Structure 1
Amino acid sequence: MSTPDGTTVLAAGCVLWRRSPVTGGTELCLVHRPKYDDWSHPKGKLKPGEDALAGALREVAEETGHTAAPGPELPTVRYPADGRPKQVRYWAAEAVSGTFVPNDEVDRVLWLAPDAARARLTRPRDRALVDALLATARLP
């Protein structure tokens, strides 16, 4: 979806987290997209007229199989994509329930401690979101 002037691609996603079932610490969910061979936070383009937070939660469900409870909004990320500006709004979100099933868009997910997630993320702009999550959300 683009803005009325037809230039900016609008998308939304979440920095998805959970309490580790092993250590009790915070783990972040990263998705692997085979099309790009990258590790990122779950996100995607908004449908026409879709609320950004609703779109972010839909993308989390589609890409990770998890329902999520949204928390604070994180910084918006802007970058060029396919020759057009793209704007992605992000929220912190706690994974509530669900199970990952590989699909065409996402073939793997990893749950990692914040430092390991930061190191695994492909793009620096995604790493900054880990820091924003840790600074804003009340995590275990």
Structure 2
Amino acid sequence: MSGLVRAAGCVLWRRSPYDGGVEVCLVHRPRYDDWSFPKGKLKRGETALEGALREVLEETGHHCAPGAALPTARYLVNGRPKVVSYWAAEATGGAFVANDEVDRLAWLSPAAARTRLTRPGDRRQLDAFLETAPSGA
């Protein structure tokens, strides 16, 4: 079996421009046809938090301010163990531009995000985010 795959990402959130409630960001990856939180593999020498912030910017076009650490996801991908570190992160500015890796982005209420997430395991990070989220979530 090959070595451990290390990755990191964020539950990116913002205040809704419509009602001020909390919205979370999900990205659609056409390669996998899935909806997930922005995340990706770490580069050599990169800390998990550095990788999470880089991946959020690359996949969503948004800069963000990291907050609380969220539960780490552990699962197998093609027989290899994968560990994904997560943080809550507030979007601070930017704009999404579709690319080969991510073709769609959605800002959703937490309830809608829970339904849209492809991997049931990702709901663990959403639940942990909601426990630490600002009021209105």
Q: Find runs of 4+ consecutive structure 1 residues off by over 4 angstroms.
A: none
Aligned counterparts, 1:9-28, within 5 A: 9-28=5-24
Counterpart of 1:56 in structure 2 is 52
Are residues 1:72 and 2:68 paired? yes
Residue identity matched to 2:63? T
Which of 3, 13, 21 pairs up with 1:7? 3
Q: TM-score, normalized by length of structure 2? A: 0.96
CA shift digits 1:14-42 (9 cap, x unpaired): 00000000010000000000000000000
Counterpart of 1:38 in structure 2 is 34
- Report the number of matched residues: 135
**Cα distance 1:44–1:139, how it changes in 2: closer, same or farther (>3 A)?**
farther
Residue identity matched to 1:24? G
Identity level (%): 69
Residue identity matched to 1:40? S
* Structure 1: segments with no counterpart, 5+ residues: 1-5
Are residues 1:117 and 2:92 paired? no
Question: CA-atom RMSD, angstroms?
Answer: 0.9
Quote the offset at 1:136 in angstroms: 2.1
2: CA distance, partners of 1:136 / 1:94: 12
* Structure 2: segments with no counterpart, 5+ residues: none
Secondary structure at 1:103's aligned position in 2?
coil
CA shift digits 1:38-92 (9 cap, x unpaired): 0000000000110110100000000000000000000000000111000000000
Secondary structure at 2:128's aligned position in 1?
helix
2: CA distance, partners of 1:68 / 1:48: 22
